[in-house]
Structures are given as structure tokens and as C-alpha cells.
Amino acid sequence: MGKIKTKYVCQECGYISLKWMGKCPECNSWQSFVEEFVEKKRSSSEVVKAVSQKPVKLKNIELQIEDRFKTDNIELDRVLGGGIVKGSLVLVGGDPGIGKSTLLIQVASNIGNKGLKVLYVSGEESLKQIKMRADRLSIDNENLYIVSENNLQYISKYIEEINPNLLIIDSIQTVYNPDITSAPGSVSQVREGTATLMKLSKKLGIATFIVGHVTKTGSIAGPKVLEHMVDTVLYFEGEKHNIYRVLRAVKNRFGSTNEIGIFEMTNNGLEQVINPSHLFLAHRPKEASGSVVIAGIEGTRPVLIEIQALISPTSFGNPRRMATGIDYNRVVMLMAVLEKKIGLQLQGQDGYVNVVGGIQLSEPAVDLAIVCAIASSFRNKIIDHQTIIFGEVGLTGEVRAVNYPEKRITEAVKMGFKTCVIPKGNTNGLPAFKDIEIVGVDNVYEALDIVL
Ligand code: TYD
Ligand code: MG
């Protein structure tokens, strides 16, 4: 077999070199060369032959319902859009240690229990380590094949031999093709590995999960370089020291994005959190200032989450502002609105705002709750613990309508809340709710008047 040729291509300008270079002589960018295979030139008649499909009329295209199978993990199935699609490639990204391997071995076990074949390729752990984890999780399965391998050529061979229904590659950064001289984890290897696996999985109709570590330094390529190649991208988020994990779809060719799945890391692996509101409100202080509950929407699902604020006099220098779980700039802006429109003297005060449970909230509907929490802490007045608040706040202090008011209120009723402070713009067209009083407000002033 002749030696396979590779070339180095600058990712900024496309300059080609036969050797790796630190700096591109064409566009002067640094560290931009990535190794690629040199494709054998094909004559134009070969190219024309290879393209066998003719354009067809849109109305003549027949739709096939995607062939899906459920993972029996409700949270994961929801994020995937109703189960795994055959022949699809799913990238599962996340920080090291967040629980990717744990989740996937649990899924592998579920699929195996249905009588479907699963091949789990680990490039990170030995067979013994995987066995130990499986024992801990009480996984024992006839249909689960495990191999500890990094070489892409061997992996491809095993896949063809076993022809599983589900393939798991843990992780793509450990897989390498010996024909490429770049180190495992480099952009070239990670891309080449994914491309090979994609061809195989489409050819054989195998559903494939690929694990990609999110990396802090640039020395190994993160999942970002693969996002455009795969069908679905899921990110596993959460703080290491917190037991909650959120699985989020950021791209999904077979379902909606922004859907989330919530898990709890326990001694028995990852457990699904079916009722997140219950969980997030479990340890809530009832008689404390600075605490308020928001009805947020994550994906299509309402979640009730506590927001806490602490305002205390600055001891020296500039006042500090801190935000955990929400956008820092948003908090700074809302504090400015409170100063200017309500006249709260926050200039000499440190302000800390925290979303309880390690969850990230990004929708503007949290604004009104943040404003109320800050005012509550500043005035040291308690907001009734059976009150729920949502609404967007504008720069003039006006409260703007948000989406899905009905879903949010329904969740609040379900969790036993008694009062709901919402934007006046959202009160039109709402159905009648029992057991909850709904108060529409036009601006921040009105809202604070009601809750404090
Ligand atoms: P892991 O799945 O190995 O993370 P990743 O593959 O994303 O790197 O999970 C690692 C962490 O999870 C580790 O710190 C131990 C913890 N863990 C539990 O708390 N309970 C369990 O049942 C398991 C298997 C792991
Ligand atoms: Mg792992």
C-alpha cells in the first residue's frame, strides 16, 4: 500500500503547504494549519457519474417517517425530539467529569435491554474500569459489547463486524487515524474520525453517539469543530460540585432545539428529574428577604426556580456586582433601572444575584423577579413565599409581556402558589385560573408596590 499523502491547509485563507507551519506566510495568522488528506484527483466524467441524482419537484418528494427508537430515558428522549433516529450522529459535549460516560452507559444498558445491540468504544478507560462502573450502576447486559480502542481502523472493523444498532464513541478526542501524522485530539484527527464514523453509521444505519470533551486550552480540539458535521448536538452542563446536570440540545435536525433534560447525579448514576420545580424549590427559605420564585420556561417546559439577591453596603472602593446563573450585564442594567426609576440608593451597595440550583437562565422573563429580589434585599422586606413573578423589564422601567404566560401560571398553580405577578400585557386572553390570584403590572413601580 502506497503511503497516504496529507497536506496542511491554513484554516484562515486556504494556503496549502506540505509541511506544518506555525505561521501562515500568506495571511500571517498563527497556528492555523490543519492536516488534511490529499484527495486523488478524479476526472470530470467520473465526477459527473458520481452525481446520479436529478433535481426533483418538491411536491414529488415522498416523506418517510424517521425510524426512531426510544432510549427509555424520558429526559434524554425529550431532548432528542422523541428518541434516537437510526443512522443519525449525535455529539454529546461537556466538561470532563460532568457525567457523559455515565449517561451513555446507562443509555446503552436501556437499549440493550430492548434486545438491540450496542457497541461501546472507550478510548479513555480500560475494560476493567468500565466494568467497575457498570457494576456500580448494576448494569449487566447480554447485548452490550465493550471495546477499549483508539485506532480508527480497528474501530471501523469492529463496527462492521458487530453491526450494532447503537454505537457509542467515548471520546472522539482519543480516536486517531494512523495515516494522519497529527496527534490524537487535533482538529485533523477529530474531524477525520467523525467523518469516517459518519460514513459508516449512515451506510449501516447505526445510530451513533460521539462524546466530545469541552476543553479549556486550545491544545485539543473541542466539540465546536464538529458541530456542523453531525445531526444533533447536545451539551451536558452543570457545575461539578452541584448534583444537577442539564442536557441541552443546541442543534437538532430531528427535533426542536432549546429542549432540556434535567438529571441528578447520585450514587446510582444519573437519575432523571421529572418534576424539576419540586426539586429546585425543595430547600427554599420561607421567611427571607431577597428570595423570590420565577416561573421560567426551559425549552417547552415550565420550571419554577428561586432567585436570590443580596445587597449589602460596600466596605471600600467601587461597589461589586456579581451574577451567577444569569447574565451579568442584565443584572447591572436592572440595578441601574432601580436606581433611576425607583430611586433606590444602590451606588454604595454591593449586589449579588444567584439562581439557585446551578441552573442557567437566559430568557428576559427573569428580569422582574431579579428586580423584586434586589429591592426585597435592599429594603430588607420579605416577599410572600407563595408569590411567583415573571416579566421582562425595559430601560424605562416598563414591564413587558413574555411568551407562554399560561404554561408558567399553570405550573405555579400545580406547585401551590397563590399569587402571580405578571406583565399587564399578558393578562389579556388568559383562561380563568382557580386558586391563584393574577396581578398584571405595567411597570416596576407597580410591581414593587404589590410585592413589598
Ligand atoms: P463521568 O461519566 O466519568 O464523566 P465524563 O465522562 O463526562 O468525564 O462521571 C464522572 C463523575 O461522576 C465522577 O466524578 C463520579 C461521578 N459519579 C457519581 O457520582 N455517581 C455514579 O454513579 C457515577 C458512575 C459517577
Ligand atoms: Mg468519560
List residues near ligand 1 (CB under 6 A).
94, 96-102, 133, 136-137, 265, 267-269
Domain containing 399 equals: 279-451
Q: What is the pTM (predicted TM-score) of this model?
A: 0.79
In a domain, 171, yes or no: yes
* 348 lies in the same domain as 243: no
Choice from 92, 98, 102 to test ligand 1 binding pocket (greatest atom count within 8 A of CB): 102
Q: Tell me if 4 is assigned to a ligand binding site.
A: no
| Residue owning the nearest CA to atom 16 of ligand 1 | 99
Could you tell me if 205 and 81 lie in one domain? Answer: yes
Mutation pick for ligand 1 pocket among 265, 266, 272 (CB with most ligand atoms within 8 Å): 265
Which of 225, 250, 274 represents a domain boundary (last residue)?
A: 274
Q: Which of 274, 296, 319 is the last residue of a domain?
A: 274
94 assigned ligand-binding residue? yes
Q: Which ligand is nearest to the CA of 94?
A: 1
pLDDT score of 358? 77
Q: What is the pLDDT of residue 113?
A: 93
* Structural domain total, the chain: 3
Judge whether 50 lies within some domain: no
Closest-approaching ligand to the CA atom of 247 = 1
Whether 202 maps to a domain, the answer reads yes
Same domain as 389, residue 292: yes
Domain boundary among 274, 308, 337: 274
91 and 162 fall within a common domain: yes
Q: Is residue 238 part of a domain?
A: yes
The answer to whether residues 257 and 136 belong to one domain is yes
The reply to whether 270 and 367 lie within a common domain is no
d(CA 100, ligand 2 centre) in Å: 6
| Closest C-alpha residue for ligand 1 atom 2 | 99
Residue 307 Cα to ligand 2 midpoint, Å, equals 32
Q: Is 96 annotated as a binding residue?
A: yes
> Is 95 marked as binding a ligand?
yes
Q: Could you tell me if 124 and 225 lie in one domain?
A: yes
In this structure, the answer to whether residues 405 and 346 fall within a common structural domain is yes
Say how many Å lie between the CA of residue 101 and the centre of ligand 2: 4
Residue 96: give its domain's CATH number.
3.40.50.300
Same domain, yes or no: 180 and 80: yes
- Domain CATH for 409: 3.30.230.10
What gap in Å lies between CA 351 and CA 374, rounded to an integer?
8
Q: 451, 404 in Cβ contact below 8 A?
A: no
**Does one domain contain both 429 and 289?**
yes
- Using the mean position of ligand 1's atoms as its centre, give its distance from the Cα of residue 131 in Å: 14
User: Which residues make up the environment of ion ligand 2, defined by Cβ < 5 Å?
Assistant: 101
Would 25 be classed as within a structural domain?
yes
- Identify whether residues 35 and 93 lie together within a single domain: no
Question: What value of ipTM does the predicted structure carry?
Answer: 0.95
Closest residue (by CA) to atom 12 of ligand 1? 99
In three state form, how does the secondary structure of the chain look?
CCCCCEEEEECCCCCEECCCCCECCCCCCECCEEEEECCCCCCHHHHHHHCCCCCCCHHHCCCCCCCEECCCCHHHHHHHCCCEECCCEEEEEECCCCCHHHHHHHHHHHHHHCCCCEEEEECCCCHHHHHHHHHHCCCCCCCEEEEECCEHHHHHHHHHHHCCCEEEEECHHHCECCCCCCCCCCHHHHHHHHHHHHHHHHHHCCEEEEEEECCCCCCCCCHHHHCCCCCEEEEEECCCCCCEEEEEEEEECCCCCCCEEEEEEECCEEEECCCHHHHHCCCCCCCCCCEEEEEEEECCEEEEEEEEEEEEECCCCCCCEEEECCCHHHHHHHHHHHHHHHCCCCCCEEEEEEECCCCCCCCHHHHHHHHHHHHHHHHCCCCCCCEEECCEECCCCEEECCCCHHHHHHHHHHCCCCEEEEEHHHCCCCCCCCCCEEEEECEHHHHHHHHC
pLDDT at 37: 80
Whether residue 284 is contained in a domain is answered as: yes
The per-residue pLDDT for 217 is: 62
Residue 98 Cα to ligand 1 middle (Å): 6
Residue 423 CA from chain centroid, whole number: 29
Amino acid 259: pLDDT: 79
Q: Does residue 62 sit within a domain? A: no
Per-residue pLDDT of the chain (452 residues; tens, 9 = 90+): 456 688 888 888 888 888 888 899 988 988 888 888 877 766 667 666 666 678 889 888 887 777 888 999 999 999 999 899 999 999 999 888 899 999 999 999 999 999 999 999 999 999 999 999 999 999 988 999 999 999 999 999 999 999 999 999 998 999 999 988 888 888 888 989 999 999 999 999 999 999 998 877 655 677 788 888 999 999 988 877 778 888 988 899 988 877 788 899 998 899 998 888 887 888 888 889 999 999 998 877 888 999 999 999 998 889 999 999 999 999 999 999 999 999 999 999 999 999 988 788 889 999 999 999 999 999 999 999 999 999 999 999 999 999 999 999 999 998 889 999 999 999 998 999 988 999 999 999 999 999 99
The ligand whose atoms approach the alpha carbon of 125 most closely is 2
Residue 53: inside a domain: no
Cα separations in angstroms, 235 against 85, 207, 253: 18, 18, 15
Ligand nearest to the CA of 123: 2
Let me know whether 385 and 298 are in one domain: yes
CA 264 / ligand 2 centre spacing (Å): 17
